[in-house]
Amino acid sequence: MTDPITSRAQVPSARRVVVKVGSSSVSGVNAGQIATLVDALAAAHARGTEVILVSSGAIATGMPYLRLDDRPSDLATQQAAAAVGQNVLIYRYQESLDRYGIVAGQVLLTAGDLENPTHRSNAQRAMERLLALRILPIVNENDTVATHEIRFGDNDRLAALVSQLIAADLLLLLSDVDALYTRPPQDAGAVKIENVAFEDQLGQIEFGGIGSTGVGTGGARTKVSAAKLAAASGTPVLLTSTDRVADALAGEHLGTWFAAGTISA
């Protein structure tokens, strides 16, 4: 049992970290960021940290192969794009991980799986075994069979549920924004929020849209909700941008830190 992680500076000593990355960070023109992300994950893995990656991007990655310019609105086409894109996405991750001799293990879940006791137990057992074998689990929403699960920001929530499942020491939420702001950061008067106490309800925040690329499904609101969910289970959360992932895992002072609540014994 390790001591709780209570600050950014302690992040390098975390035993188990869940990293969540969004579609806009690893697909389309930003697909090249996979290599940078893998560099950071591999560095943490090399110092003994157990790393779990929750990666969106299956639908966005599959879109070009279906000759789609925009994210499909109908469920069947979303499922088809996910079926194609998940295969390509995992291939890209594994190709990059090969540089470090790290093997990825694909874990496809829905949030509903983690609410079903039997499915939850199976997922937990599989994930624990993968980590014990020094495999890097890559978790995604099972979009090909999902129905209502394909919805606004679900993978942020999924990342929080995975953090609960494997008792993570830290949840690192990555997006295309470097921190949480009191309003959309491009708006006048936006102020960066560096720390969020567990009791803080963040009533001062004006939430904006879902991001800058149009391929993702999350936004500040879903990340705050996911952060609060993880924090309530005793896992602190750091929110920052994908291009700062290496610095975040190295313990640099950046992003927005959500303090965890105290879990009674």
pLDDT of residue 207: 72
Is residue 177, in this structure, part of any structural domain at all? yes
Is residue 264, in this structure, part of any structural domain at all? no
Inter-residue contact 53 to 137 (CB < 8 Å): yes
Is residue 89, in this structure, part of any structural domain at all? yes
Q: Is 155 annotated as a binding residue?
A: yes
CATH number of the domain within which 147 lies: 3.40.1160.10
Q: Is 113 annotated as a binding residue?
A: no
Is residue 1, in this structure, part of any structural domain at all? no
Q: Is 20 annotated as a binding residue?
A: yes
List 21's β-bridge partners, or say none: 55
- Phi-psi category of 156—alpha, beta or left, where left has phi over 0 and alpha has psi -120 to 50? alpha
pLDDT tens-digit readout, 35-76: 999 999 999 999 999 999 999 999 999 999 999 999 998 989
Is residue 265, in this structure, part of any structural domain at all? no
Structural domain count, the chain: 1
Q: How many CB atoms lie within 10 A of CB 147?
A: 10
CA distance 69 to 210: 18
Is residue 3, in this structure, part of any structural domain at all? no
pLDDT tens-digit readout, 31-44: 999 999 999 999 99
pLDDT of residue 211: 46
Q: Residue for token digits 């969540």?
A: 20
Q: Is 96 annotated as a binding residue?
A: no
Q: Is 98 annotated as a binding residue?
A: no
Q: What is the distance in angstroms between the CA of the first residue and the CA of the last residue of the chain?
A: 13
pLDDT of residue 212: 43
- Kindly give the parts of the chain with pLDDT less than 70: 1-2, 146-154, 208-218, 263-265
Q: Is 176 annotated as a binding residue?
A: yes
pLDDT of residue 84: 96
What tokens appear for 49 in the block? 């940290």
Which residues form the domain of 218?
Answer: 8-258
